[in-house]
Amino acid sequence: MDRRVAITGIGVVSPVGTGKDAFWRGLLEGRCGVGTVRSFDASGYASRIAAEVKDFDPAEYTAPKNVKHMSRCSQFALAAAVLAKKDAGLDLNGDAQNAAVILGVSTTSMQDMEKEISSLISRGTESVNPFSAAKSFPNASSGHIGIELGLGGETITVSTGCSAGTNAIGYAYRNVLCGFADIVFAGGAEAPITPVMMSCFGNSRALSQRNADPAHASRPFDRNRDGWVLGEGAAILVLEEMSRASRREARIYAEISGYACTNDGYSLIKVDPVGDHAARALAKALKEARVDLDEVDYVNAHGSSSVVADRRETRVLKKVLGERAYKVPVSSLKSMTGHPLGACGGLQTAACALAISEDKVPPTINYEEPDEECDLDYVPNEARERRVRAAVNQALGIGGNNACLVLKKV
């Protein structure tokens, strides 16, 4: 098969910056997006911190009349898609009917549904907004992208928890590779910072309770981590058939050359500590990409700041990469962006593409004291210049859904 898949556009909405350039600059500077929750009063919660998107105005990306019919998740997704289209320099005239959207999400519209349920209980059925159901459908965010950009191709939503964004990009890659589409807008979006979500994860003791020091709360692979931090945002990539991108002289950030997904078959909520199936996903993706282990120059880890998950991921890298694992820089964006559930795969893939394009590797901030079971090079606290020929994005989702993408320099 002579088709290849290029990344030609990147759009980002994140706690460390909106827009590709602001996002990348924030990562390289080690900027922390975690703070005390501002969107609601979380003073009585076990965890009162999150990585929220700041200074975001959805009316900059669509008509103000459209905003009221969109959830916060959809607003993020649409903004990222508009930014990605602009970054790619795409003119969709003649191609729009075959351009697709494949988006990974997890919770979609929790804010709106929590508000409507509260209204129903306190004020009765007539108080419920009749448009709230449409806002909350999982496919609403991808639908808004298709409508705003006038796309006529497939509009698909992938929901596999924390691996949703990575799986969405993986399916988009396969669509382009197999000739079902020449252009796909793909990535992930999430806006899960709500009272119910913070209560659920806080009561399960999954979240960090470093409430007095939020900037140092998310600390993947560090010995003193006490849980992860909830985040939000979106990242959309323009995936384009390589020869088409070359003909229009598009900027090509990187090539997607391998993808795989496996399931642990272990538990819906617990992490399989062994990691054999996660290792299988990484090995399959590398094999499909035809990348030798010595060519892997960067791993963007899932790195959630969970004790069990971080140790399992370290174990997975050693199983597949062998001695090479000790020589490859491994970093976690979640030290800065928090964990945005279904959006993290989009953000991570964007970071991999930029690392390849710029030959720079973002850091893992708040890494101060090594965990004896996490003994790889986690790029502590400062970005690093390094030639990146191939990069790996690992996403390890709830229910044991493991997804892996391999990107290469063109």
The reply to whether 352 belongs to the active site is: no
Cα pseudo-dihedral 396, 397, 402, 406, rounded to 10: -60
CB 223 within 8 A of CB 370: yes
- Among candidates 190, 189, 197, 191, which has minimal Cα distance to 42? 197
Three-class SS of residue 304?
A: coil
The reply to whether 144 belongs to the active site is: no
Which entry of 32, 73, 277, 339 is annotated as an active-site residue? 339
Which entry of 32, 73, 144, 162 is annotated as an active-site residue? 162
Which entry of 302, 344, 374, 404 is annotated as an active-site residue? 302
The reply to whether 162 belongs to the active site is: yes
CB 94 within 8 A of CB 150: no
Place of tokens 């909830």: 230
Regarding beta strands 360-361 and 384-385, do their DSSP bridges make them parallel or antiparallel, or are they unpaired? antiparallel
CB 391 within 8 A of CB 297: yes
Return d(Cα 163, Cα 104) in angstroms, integer: 8
Task: Dump the DSSP string for 260-300.
Answer: EEEE--S-SSS--SS-HHHHHHHHHHHHHHT--GGGEEEEE
Provide the annotated active-site residues.
Answer: 162, 302, 339
